[in-house]
Amino acid sequence: MRTGTAGLIALVASAGIAAAQDVDEGQALYQTHCATCHGREAQGQGPLAGALLLQPVDLTTLSADNGGEFPLERVVKRIDGTDPLVSHGSPMPVFGPYFEGVSNTPLKLQSGQPIMVPDPIADLVGYLLSIQQGV
């Protein structure tokens, strides 16, 4: 099922994400691959956070912490592993290979430059956009 609420569409569109991305699928991917470190509520307090050298960030404040703009390129690069963050002896994300695949979904950066990402990354980014607070 594709997400279709007006508020979410406006938020997603303002960040350059295709509104047709599946936020529900993104949430499911988040809970499966990210919640163990970032927490079920994405506030950086997952059950494995204590074992990490660098504490996971609060993913609900990415936009607020970036002057009100969602840091799309940085988020995509952290997810796909092209900007690795070594916090537990290996690059983040642990599940990076799961997100590899055909990059057939365009996301637009602040500059207007499109980047192509696999559907799971676009869905996950759509979910992260939907949970932003304080913007």
Residue 112 has pLDDT above 50, yes or no: yes
Quick one: how far is CA 15 from the chain centroid?
12
C-beta separation of 127 from 26 below 8 A: yes
The domain spans of the chain are 6-130
Residue 18's pLDDT band (cuts 50, 70, 90)? low
Residue 26's pLDDT band (cuts 50, 70, 90)? very high
**Other C-beta atoms within 10 Å of 15: how many?**
21
Q: If you write DSSP's letter for every residue of 65-77 in order, what string do you get?
A: GGTTS--HHHHHH
Structure-token match 């002896």, residue found: 89
pLDDT of residue 129: 96
How does pLDDT run across 28-70, given as a tens digit for each residue?
999 999 999 999 999 999 999 888 888 899 999 999 999 999 9
Radius of gyration of the chain (CA): 14
Residue 17's pLDDT band (cuts 50, 70, 90)? low
Residue 3's pLDDT band (cuts 50, 70, 90)? very low
Structure-token match 């559907």, residue found: 119
